[in-house]
Amino acid sequence: MTGYAQQLAEQVGDAAVVGLGTSTRSGAETFAFVEEVTGLLLQRGFRAIAIRDNQRVGALYDQFVTGGIDSLEHVLPQAWGPWQTVEFRDALIRLRTLNQAQDDPVRVVGVGGSRVLVADYDRVLELSGNPERVRALFDVIRVAHANGEHVQRAMGVHPGTPFVELAREAEELVQGAGPEAEELAAAIVDHHARAVGAGYDAVKDDTETADRLLTWHQESGRRTVFWEGSAHVAAGYPLGARLRSRIEDDYRAVHVTFGSGVVAGARVPAPQPGSLEHDLLTSGTEYLVTEASGTPTRMRLISGLYDPARDAEHYYELASLKLNFDAVRFFPVVSPTTALRPAG
């Protein structure tokens, strides 16, 4: 793997921000490649990793890798579901070890929109005397932090009532429990009101995420690697486009994708003819430096809503591969990442 990682690091290593996008958040090989390239970029002067996760969780990641706290035991349960893996945990541990050996530590920053932690629900219960009805409401809605409400609907496990309505009921029940409890309950309502399928504005969220990343980069002066999904780092889509428009060629984007395999419990079939992944698979290409082209390209993305039986619906159109990505790394087959807490 090192040869392609080294080639990529040399290709994008003079940028200020590099987006390493994956077509699935649940592939062991794709994650390992992102971590390996990141390590090589750190050797070239990059000093931060930005992750699309809760900003307060990001601060906890940062405290761990810089030695401020000694354990991830109470941190990773607060993480967004795709980050609750053995691979991500081990990457943070390796980053902490690296920092212990150098004077200028690599930092980690969460650039997501939410600032509500799973632990905030317990704090509201504690401050309000643990009322049974509030606890029951929170037990239903807190799971959305790991497995989004829209994903639960698609899987047929959603209870029916929008979570924001349940959050509002809980907020009313804790009125009078004190300013901290009321403030946290209001924040929980706001969190669920902005969820996908509720009041979520994808373009606004992507734009604000890009601006948080750029603010961090500019204020810290640290060259930054951004771990995200491919559609978000792509320079032709809102988040990546915002980064490209603000810092131009100082932003580079990479697409890390695959042909088939098992990810997130789904067996992903061979890619559809006419797609980028199909072309790479049939040509035997595992690394591609993109060239200027106005030819539209289809790429496949595996989200939490992926259904193998409807694989053809999980492809996105790119006006041009070059306008979106500087390079593509392709794995013919991938295996799944390992959940920290296996289902069941």
**Per-residue pLDDT for 343 more than 80?**
no
DSSP 195: S
**Per-residue pLDDT for 1 more than 70?**
no
Residue 57 φ/ψ, nearest 5 degrees: -65, -40
The helix (run of H) or strand (run of E) holding residue 299 is strand 297-300
Q: How confident is the model at residue 198 (pLDDT cuts 50, 70, 90)?
A: confident
Q: What percent of the chain has pLDDT over 90?
A: 84
According to the model, what pLDDT value does residue 169 have? 96
Residue 325 φ/ψ, nearest 5 degrees: -135, 145
According to the model, what pLDDT value does residue 293 have? 65
Question: Once rounded to an integer, what is the mean pLDDT over residues 30-56?
Answer: 97
Question: Once rounded to an integer, what is the mean pLDDT over residues 54-75?
Answer: 96
Average pLDDT value for the chain: 93
Q: How confident is the model at residue 276 (pLDDT cuts 50, 70, 90)?
A: very high
Closest CA to 224 of 16, 9, 11, 10: 16
Query: Cβ distance 297 to 277 under 8 Å?
Result: no
Beta-strand runs (E) in 85-208: 107-110
Question: Once rounded to an integer, what is the mean pLDDT over residues 28-41?
Answer: 98
Q: Among 3.40.1000, 3.30.2400, 3.40.50, 1.10.12, what is the CATH number of 2-113+202-334?
A: 3.40.50
**235-249 core/surface letters (b: 16 or more CB in 10 A; e: else):** bbbbbbbbbbebeee
According to the model, what pLDDT value does residue 187 have? 95
Segment 242-261, tens digit of pLDDT: 999 999 999 999 999 999 99
Query: Cβ distance 112 to 79 under 8 Å?
Result: no
**Contacts for 235 with CB less than 8 Å, ≥ 6 apart:** 241, 243, 244, 251, 253, 323, 324, 325
Residue that wins the pLDDT comparison between 154 and 180: 180
* pTM of the predicted model over 0.75: yes
Task: For the chain, give every domain's residue range.
Answer: 2-113+202-334, 118-193
**Contacts for 337 with CB less than 8 Å, ≥ 6 apart:** 26, 27, 28, 31, 85, 86, 87, 88, 263
Q: Tell me how far apart the alpha carbons of residues 300 and 288 are, in angstroms, rounded to a whole number.
A: 16
Query: Cβ distance 85 to 32 under 8 Å?
Result: no
According to the model, what pLDDT value does residue 138 have? 96
**Per-residue pLDDT for 69 more than 90?**
yes
**Per-residue pLDDT for 13 more than 60?**
yes
The helix (run of H) or strand (run of E) holding residue 262 is strand 251-263
Question: Once rounded to an integer, what is the mean pLDDT over residues 201-226?
Answer: 96
**Per-residue pLDDT for 344 more than 50?**
no
According to the model, what pLDDT value does residue 62 have? 98
- Residue 22, token pair as written in the block: 């994956």
Query: Cβ distance 80 to 111 under 8 Å?
Result: no
**Per-residue pLDDT for 278 more than 80?**
yes
Q: Tell me how far apart the alpha carbons of residues 106 and 257 are, in angstroms, rounded to a whole number.
A: 26
